[in-house]
Chain A
Amino acid sequence: MGPWFGHDVFKVLIFAVNTHEKPKKFLMKIREIENRLKKFRVGIAGAGGLGSNCAAALARAGVGSFVIADFDIVDDSNLSRQYYFSRQVGMLKTEALKENLIAIRPGLEVTVHNRRLDVTNIPSVFQGCDVIVEAFDSAEMKEMIIETVCRVYPETPLVVGSGLAGWGMTDLLKCRQIDRHLFICGDETSETSDEMPPLAPRVGIVANMQANTVLEILLNKPAS
């Protein structure tokens, strides 16, 4: 036999592994997870670096329904870390994010609220959400939504992002459960400033930590 024979056997083996064993197993499990996740609705409070990246990860994982609230428009400077594209500069963030989520999964249900969130409108905006993701920029707003959700929807899990400025220091990023329904992701120490701007990798890690926490909450929840 010439060397081509051995090569062919190798190709057949690769083919067998690729088409039968692992991918099929993963696919079945992924479909099962998607089927569970598509019944849930996640609220995204703020569609900046945390909110846009977190929503994209959740849409890919299979969450079926989103409520997105933000008042801002996509700016050039947002492209350094937020899940938007240069052609979307000038669009409302809610509309741009809806477009991007639906580009990932056409069947998604996305409700948008183009408004600044406050104590009075949070209850109606996020009514019916299974989990709420806090993705505001300012610490005052973070405090406001924690107080509001704990008071109005004490049974709704809230996943907060706090501390994501700068670069490196990956090992300082963590996620902890404060109580039954309150979770905090981030380093809890770094604050954005001129010297410590938010950048795509660390913002993306924290956004994905929030998304990962949401999955943990939803996949542990009994299907209704």
Chain B
Amino acid sequence: MYLHPDLETLPRRDLEALQLERLRATVALAATAPFYRARLAAAGTGPWRIDSLADLRGLPLTSKDDLRQSYPKGMLAAPEADVVRMHASSGTTGKPTVVFHTAHDLDAWTGLVARSLYAAGMRRHDVFQNMMTYGLFTGGLGLHYGAERVGMLVIPASSGNSRRQVQLIQDFGTTALHITPSYALHLAQEVAQFGVADPRELGLKFAVMGAEPYSVGTARKIEAAFGVKVFNCYGLSEMNGPAVAFECAERGGMHLWEDNYILEILDPETLEPLADGEKGELVLTTINRTGMPLLRYRTRDLTRIIPEPCPCGRVHRRIERILGRTDDMLIISGVNVFPSQVEHVLMELPEVGSTYQIVLTREECLDRMTVKVELRDPAFTGNLAELHRLQKRIEHELKSALLVTCRVKLVEPGDIPPSQGKAVRVVDERGKD
């Protein structure tokens, strides 16, 4: 039932002793990176100030903007030769946020993924089909290696192409999927056209779902459609990726792996700590990462700690499914998008104004993003073909910057109401379920 019984069920006191030891080492290591050397010096603190876990509060917070400012290597704490992998998420203003991993880091991350999948009930005889995009995005490779470590046959199917996905499931006896909730709902409808009358005939048992927020209702719908158990997975590329927190077989919240991360829940306004059970912003510190340690990273995700112990016996505290964001980040088909990224692309295009509106809809269970942009008078020649070319060019530019396909709709100047914050910039017409 436990892949790492010593680390999953140790007494709280021992877990905290391990955390303290690892925190002290992490702060010492972080201080060798240019960013933290300056940041810790400015705050007048360092590893010598860490005598108890409560001393974490004296450390400065780290933001996504800090990561961007440190692009590409300002937060690297290991010798460059020791780095074996990087992952990146698209940047909000052109620069991506990059995370570097040493062999130790990948081993630790893979261990957490394996521990999570094992806790859900997957074993070496299972067949794991990973329908997440491989590449810089962490959902592909992260789950891939963890599933291999459990000993499963891993099918690196990547995303899309439903016909091939169904054929792989049938031909290789897939029992577990890693899939986004929106694609799962879409696939449930599509299988009929590939000769599968009922998705339950596919013989699936597990669905690991993360990358985008979803409700309990959506999870139950997918469970009913495929006859699977859905396991909620939390992660963010800054903290490695998936399996920062994961649901065990009890499925009553996600165990956040406290031997690798120290979690805090802060009031997003005052940044004061909140008691277990109160809803606030999740702030995480890596304590088992050597390539690029992050101290008190503001995830911008809203959740709460579930104070009651889990019947499974694991000591690691559970967090609630993500309840929202404290910034304007959008999640479109599992990809994180900031409205400022759209603005940045448009500012480079003289043919259109920088006033825009993002309209999000759902078609056949899949997210659709439409960006309305205002055509500027000097760019108009009266030629229809040129307008089409402009439209395609903007769609292409947005796709390269956001990594999400979107439709561009050219509108007349003045059509978009002047910006008064997020409410006008983004119209989200996707249903709650």
Q: Do these two chains really belong together in a complex?
A: no
Residues of B within 8 A of A (CB): none
